[in-house]
Structures are given as structure tokens and as C-alpha cells.
Amino acid sequence: MSDKKQQPPVNDFAQQMVEILDRLRPVMKDYVLKHGGQRSEGTNWDPFQLHNVWSNFLQAAGKNPTKLIDLQVEYLQNMTHLWQESTRKFLGETSQSIASPEKSDKRFRDPLWNDNVVFDFIKQSYLLTSRMMQNAVRSVDGLDPKEKAKLDFHTRQFVDSISPSNFAITNPEVLRETLNSKGQNLIHGLENLVEDLERGGGNLEISKTQYDAYEVGKNIAVTKGSVVFRNDLIELIQYAPSTDKTYATPLLIIPPWINKYYILDMRPDNSFVKWAVDQGHTVFVISWVNPDEKLAKKSFESYVNEGLLQAADVACAITQEKSVNAVGYCIGGTLLTTALAYLAAVKKEHKIASATFLTTLIDFEEAGDLQIFIDEAQLNVLDQKMKEKGFLEGRELRNTFSLLRANDLIWSFVVNNYMLGKEPFPFDLLYWNDDSTNMPAAMHSFYLRNMYQNNLLCKKNGIIINNQKLDVRNIATRSYFLSTKEDHIAPWKATYEGMMLLGGDKKFVLSASGHVAGVVNPPELKKYHYWLNTNLDDRQHADEWLQDATQHDGSWWLDWAKWIEKTSGKKVSRRAIGSKEFPALCPAPGTYVKKKA
């Protein structure tokens, strides 16, 4: 964002507004020209297919109206009670709260939300109303579970959007800043809005961090190494050793291609890559290409062959070993599962000595809120978009993931950037989060339909790769599953059920925190904790596993380091990067990771 917001306030408020609106006009004109016709074909535009869901909800509710009536009666009683308690507070008498926000809710941190009777009443009435609306959806019987989940999700989106914290006139912090700055926060906020629209080419791209504070290869993704192989889909990075001796078996990391690989190599103090190198592993990482229309026909099978299997072959050739220890993160773990099932089918399991799965879904039956976006109507719309361009734009995926945590990843920045007129803080994780990648049309359509919609990976002969019918139950490779308790992308109970399908020696570990923070948790931080339970009875479900699990302080990395030793082989002299057949092509982090969506 521009530096002019650091200058002394300009007195002529009206003149500033005129100048900003002049900048806004061409951006909005371009947006209307690009998108104005998309919804003009009729009044039935319903991208989330909610009309039928709402009709079914009303029918189900009408069959047993007692629950809704009881909720309304309870709501009216609570509102009456709130009015009485607010009156006592206004008169200076002792009063009690009727509704309090969750501890994790950051929207109402300003003291005036509690101290001022008006803002306290607004806050509590909003909490009572929003909870009543969500309880109304959740209490209705007879609605298809997937339809109920969709309605519940969108109800949550609605109640989050109408929070009083999102409006200047009902947000005490914004009102105070407006009075103190004589409206300069609104001027700066409008400037921020225009800049975000300009940055998005007419689409609103909410700034979540200071993007010029980071540069890949300069202050993030800086672990020393070189690209030793490149094809259409991947650059394979080999990292320089930092110990005199290294384990014989190389370590191959398969990150998700929905985001860029350097989530595992952010800064030296939280880089899993650097930490693994320092433990004595010869580390290889796949850096996926950011695809354009030329790669539209690259399939999920291509990602198996040209991605994971090709990378494993190169790593073995360079190190002169017969197998690798593989680490798959998120969709990278799903790809690893697919590759293992294929290798089992063709009797080549030896290529993978061990498999580590980080927050990985294999059974997609209970795959969380992302399932809200996966039904036939929405997939048809998505397929049409991808057919026109050859890929799914990275920003669409990023916006979808932002909706899963709208208060943290959307509304908090709307308030900070546009109402308070402040700059977002520098935050490397949010820089990575917004450094989005495109998805090839063929691959992404296959993934969404076969995994999320039809859940075929966990079914016998459900997926065919290289003309081989796959069955994940034939996987006998030694495996380590790491899931996170607050994961909203790969819910831990779903990952547990998928893990139970595999054969072989298995270990399941549950980390505190979420999809990223629970994984990227270096031991030096002494942060969070994890649960262990070595009893993996085939009849045992996730809740039973956790009930008997033991909590351990600190990072799961240390537990994994001990586990991986068994398949890492003896220590050998440190290795040079690359080989005569696969020489170093360029320094890490390579070229693919720097391509913007």
C-alpha cells in the first residue's frame, strides 16, 4: 500500500474524497464491463444452489414446528431478560451478561463492548440472534445431512457478515478512531479499498499483510539447495547437507500444490526443511509449477507419474539408494496414498521405505466444510469455468478457504484496512496464504469428483491409475499419520478413519492447533502439545483413540524424528548436491515457486 498515509492529514476532507472517488471510478467501470453480464440472464442466479435447500428446510421444519417455536420463545425470553439487565446497567445497578462471546472471538475485544451499556446491548442482542438462527437450522430433523451442513455453513456466513463489529456506526473502536483523527481513518480506508481493487484488476483482493515485506528466496524459503530436476509439473530441490554424516535413505517431501511448498521452509527458525536437514537427512522437496492454460490436460495421473514417482526416481538416482522416506502434506498426502496403492498393485512397494502423512484425507466421507462447495450443480459451474480458461484461478481457491474462517481472514481485515484505515501487519504466513496457485482443469476436476464428491479413493477399485485398479487396503508401507485437532480443512477424525484403512505398521499422532500451525511447530518454540496412543484397534474410532491417548508437551517433530530413524538406514558421508546425470540447474528455491497466479 502507498506511503502517503504516513503523511500529515490533509485538512480538506471533501477534496480528498473527490480524488479517491475519481480513482475508484475507472476500476468500477472495468469491473462492470468484465462481470456485469454474468448475472443478468435472469433473477434466479444461485451459485451455491441454496434455493432448493431452503425449500427443503421449510418443509422439514413445517412437519415438526415445535422445536422452532420453542427456540423463538426462548429467544424472546432472553431478549426480555437482556433488556432488563441492560436497564439495570444503565441505572448503575449490578447486572449480569446474558450472552458472552467465545474466548476465541476477537471481534469484541474493545473495552467499550462491555463497559458501555449501548454497545454491550448491541453485542449481546447480536449474539442471541445469531445463535438462535444457527440453532434453528441445526435443530430441524428430516433434512438431508449434506443439505443441513450447507445451510448451516451459509447461515454462519450470514451471521458473521452482519456482526455489529463490521459496521462503522456500531463499532466503538471505529467511532473513536473517526473522532480522534477527524475522519482521516475513513480517508485512508477508502484509499486502501481502491488500492486493493486496483491490485485485483477490479476484483477486491483484500490485503492481509504487507506484501513488499517478503521476497521468496530472500527472507523466506532461504534454506540452501539447488534445483536438480525439472519437468512440466515440478522442480525437484535438493538441499545442502549441514552435518558431516547423513542418513542413507533420502527424504522426499510432497507438499500440496494448492499452495506453494515453502510453507515448510518459511524462516530458518520455523523451517521443517532446514530442521530435517540439521537432523542428518538428505532432503528433497517437490516445488510444483503454477500452471497456465498450456497444462490444462495434466491429470491427477500426471501428478502421480511426472510428480511423485519421477521425483522419487531422481532422488534415488542421485543418492544411489533404492527407496525414499516420503512425507506428504494435505493433498500431497492424498497423492502419496494414491501412488502407494499403485506401487502395491504393481509390486513395487519397495520404492517408498516409509510414508508420513501430514493432515491427509484418504476417506472423504466427513471431509469438513469444503464439502459444502462440492455438489453436482456447483461442480458443473466450476468445470465450465475451467474449460474456458484451462485452469482454476488461484484466487478462487484462496477465497474459498478464506470463507472457512471468515471472521479471521475476511472481516477482521475489512475493519482494520477499510474502517480503521490501518495497514495490515507484516506476517509471513499470510503472505504465503495469498501467494496462490492455479489448478489444471483435468487434474482438479478429477480430484473434486473422485475424492470429495464420490469418495472413491477409499473404495476398492474406485480409482484407476496407469490402468491399475487401486485398493488402499493393500498398502503395507510403514506409516506415520499427523493430524491436528482444530483442522477445518482435513478434520482429524476423518483423517483417522482414512488411516485405519491402510495395512502395515501405523502410528497416529494428534497435534494441537490447526492445519498449518499444528504442523509447522518447531521444538525450539516449546509451543502446543500432541497426543499419542499406540493402540490402534481396527474396531476403535477416533473419539475412543483420543480418550485413551496421552498428552505430551512440545512439538511432534521430535517424536517423528525418532520414528523415521528405523527406515533411514545407516549414516554415510555427507552428499554433494546433484550428480553427473542430474546436475544442479539453479539455486533454491528455483523458478516455479516465483511464478504468480
Question: Concatenated DSSP letters for 242-305?
Answer: -SSEEESS-EEEE--SSS-GGGGSSSTTT-HHHHHHHTT--EEEEEE----GGGTT--HHHIII
DSSP 226: E
| Stretch 65-77: mean pLDDT | 92
- CA–CA dist 408, 500 (Å, integer): 33
- Report pLDDT digits (tens) over 220-278: 999 999 999 999 999 999 999 999 999 999 999 999 999 999 999 999 999 999 999 99
- Report pLDDT digits (tens) over 430-447: 999 999 899 999 999 999
Residue 198: pLDDT band by 50, 70, 90 thresholds?
confident
DSSP 220: B
- Report pLDDT digits (tens) over 14-33: 777 777 777 777 777 766 66
Domains, the chain, ordered by start: 4-36+46-202 (no CATH), 225-391+438-594 (3.40.50.1820)
C-alpha cell recorded at residue 121? 446491548
Find cell 492529514 and name the residue: 9
Contact 393, 438 (CB under 8 A): yes
- CA–CA dist 271, 331 (Å, integer): 20
Find cell 498393485 and name the residue: 345
Closest CA to 408 of 389, 387, 430: 430
Residue 8: pLDDT band by 50, 70, 90 thresholds?
very low
DSSP 425: P
* Catalytic residue status for 586: no
- Residue 250 neighbours by CB under 8 Å, 6+ apart: 281, 282, 283, 284, 315, 316, 318, 319, 321, 324, 325
112, 190, 316, 418, 591 from 172: Cα distances, Å: 7, 19, 61, 15, 47
Contact 16, 187 (CB under 8 A): yes
Q: What is the CB neighbour count within 10 angstroms for residue 371?
A: 18
Whether pLDDT at 133 is above 90: yes
Whether pLDDT at 307 is above 80: yes
Can you give the pTM of this predicted structure?
Answer: 0.91
Q: What is the CB neighbour count within 10 angstroms for residue 126?
A: 20
SS3 sequence of 187-213: HHHHHHHHHHHHHCCCCCCCCCCCHHH
| Stretch 370-398: mean pLDDT | 90
Find cell 509471513 and name the residue: 428
Whether pLDDT at 41 is above 60: no
Residue 45: pLDDT band by 50, 70, 90 thresholds?
low
| Stretch 567-575: mean pLDDT | 96
Find cell 477424525 and name the residue: 493
Whether pLDDT at 9 is above 60: no
- CA–CA dist 375, 107 (Å, integer): 32
Whether pLDDT at 35 is above 70: no
Closest CA to 353 of 578, 560, 564, 574: 564
Q: What is the mean pLDDT of the chain?
A: 92
Contact 220, 209 (CB under 8 A): no
- CA–CA dist 27, 90 (Å, integer): 47
Q: Which of 316, 330, 458, 586 is catalytic?
A: 330
Contact 120, 38 (CB under 8 A): no
